[in-house]
């Protein structure tokens, strides 16, 4: 038996791909709202074939492990030596009158320490998809959320959009930073149905763990590898189909950390591209910047192929249980971009303009800059450039 994710549409309006397990679906009536939902079932090969005879099943994919895009090593950087707020200054968050008022932000991560003073005055709506309780016993989700919208701590500013008062928290990863793809996809569905303006995540589909699990079940290594790649591709398609069904360009802006898998501190060629699901069509992936000899430069751990970049080294933000801590990672960069997106939501509201994924992406990309970036910052490393707050 294999655990499968079956994507269905209660409205019956969406056509499945003409090729079984293909990538494209389309509505019969574009004006009719979609009602996607996920069914998770343990299926034998025969069960799978029977399920795919049901025209209401748009696609099916084996579920697979997910993991947190874990913080990169600090390489000797101490919490007391980090410069709080340097990232906020690098993106102009200290020079804008906007605070993100009225923006609705969703974060899919390890939960939240909602009692932390950084979230004073924030209404948190949460749902636990990982089954370990909404409280953050990891610390990653708390750190990321506070960078997006955290209030000042002891006179030190840590948050980009300090006027955001609504936070949707989907716990898509357990306290050890591990999860399953069906939990993530259900969390995405929930956040989109809750009409978030901005949604951010910092996890990836864990192909290596899936290969190892299949080998332990007795699969030959070659088949285990092929099956894991099939699951990786299938889960990416389910994610993209959900985004197509629930708004596409007119819906929620989706931001994903591009990944911390590169090892350029060991060798210049030890680099890789964006992790999925940040690699999905319709997602703006975010790379991390650090500082070197007075210039901003791509972080050595940051994966290639991001759409945008933001500060991600030595970021001071909220620590689980109170106080602050320092973390490195593309997760920290994604949090800066999510905060800037929230500022743009306020600006669009004030101008009585529509807030959509397309309008927010256009502002983020159009306002990005290459100014202050060192010679190593190529397009493949930083995409359109470093995000900037609206002036």
| Residue 120 CB coordination number (10 Å) | 11
> Can you point out the beta strands (E) in the chain?
2-9, 14-15, 26-27, 36-43, 57-62, 65-68, 104-109, 123-128, 166-171, 178-180, 198-201, 203-205, 253-257, 283-292, 295-298, 308-311, 315-318, 324-327
C-alpha distances in angstroms, 55 versus 62, 88, 214? 19, 50, 30
d(CA 173, CA 68): 7
d(CA 16, CA 88): 45
d(CA 329, CA 332): 5
d(CA 368, CA 293): 22
- Residue linked to tokens 């003073």: 117
In eight-state DSSP terms, residue 248 is G
In eight-state DSSP terms, residue 156 is B
Residues with active-site annotation: 109, 140, 331
d(CA 52, CA 59): 8
In eight-state DSSP terms, residue 150 is P
DSSP 337-373: HHHHHHHHHHHHHHTT----HHHHHHHHHHH-B-TTB
Q: What phi and psi, each to the nearest 5 degrees, are found at residue 358? A: -70, -45
DSSP 75-111: TT--GGGS-TTHHHHHTTGGG-S---TT-EEEEEES-
């Amino acid at each position: 038996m294999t655990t499968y994710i079956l994507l269905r549409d209660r409205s019956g309006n969406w056509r499945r791909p003409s090729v079984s397990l293909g990538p494209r679906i389309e509505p019969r009536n574009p004006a009719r709202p979609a009602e996607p939902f996920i069914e998770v079932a343990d299926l034998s090969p025969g069960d799978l074939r029977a399920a795919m005879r049901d025209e209401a099943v748009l696609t099916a994919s084996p579920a697979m492990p997910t993991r947190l895009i874990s913080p990169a090593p600090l390489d000797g950087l101490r919490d007391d030596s980090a410069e709080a707020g340097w990232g906020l200054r690098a993106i102009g968050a200290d020079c804008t009158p906007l605070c993100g008022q009225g923006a609705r932000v969703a974060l899919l991560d390890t939960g939240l320490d909602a009692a932390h003073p950084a979230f004073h005055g924030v209404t948190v709506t949460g749902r636990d998809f990982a089954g370990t309780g909404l409280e953050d016993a990891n610390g990653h989700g708390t750190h990321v959320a506070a960078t997006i919208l955290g209030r000042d701590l002891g006179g030190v500013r840590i948050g980009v959009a300090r006027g955001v008062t609504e936070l949707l928290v989907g716990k898509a990863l357990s306290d050890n930073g591990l999860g399953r793809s069906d939990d993530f996809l259900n969390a995405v569905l929930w956040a989109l149905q809750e009409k978030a303006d901005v949604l951010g995540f910092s996890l990836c589909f864990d192909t290596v763990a899936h290969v190892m699990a299949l080998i332990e079940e007795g699969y030959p290594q070659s088949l285990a590898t092929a099956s894991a790649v099939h699951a990786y591709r299938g889960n990416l398609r389910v994610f993209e189909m959900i985004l197509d069904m629930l708004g596409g360009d007119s819906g929620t802006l989706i931001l994903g950390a591009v990944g911390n898998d590169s090892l350029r501190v060991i060798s210049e060629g030890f680099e890789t591209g964006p992790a999925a699901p940040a690699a999905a069509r319709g997602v703006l992936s975010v790379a991390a910047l650090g500082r070197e000899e007075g210039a901003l430069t791509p972080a050595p751990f940051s994966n290639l192929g991001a759409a945008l970049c933001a500060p991600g080294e030595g970021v001071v933000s909220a620590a689980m249980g109170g106080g602050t801590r320092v973390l490195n990672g593309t997760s920290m960069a994604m949090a800066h971009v999510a905060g800037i997106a929230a500022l743009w939501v306020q600006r669009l509201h004030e101008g009585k303009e529509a807030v959509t994924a397309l309008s927010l992406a256009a502002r983020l990309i159009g306002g990005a800059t290459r100014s202050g970036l060192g010679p190593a910052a190529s397009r493949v490393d930083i995409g359109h450039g470093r995000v900037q707050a609206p002036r």
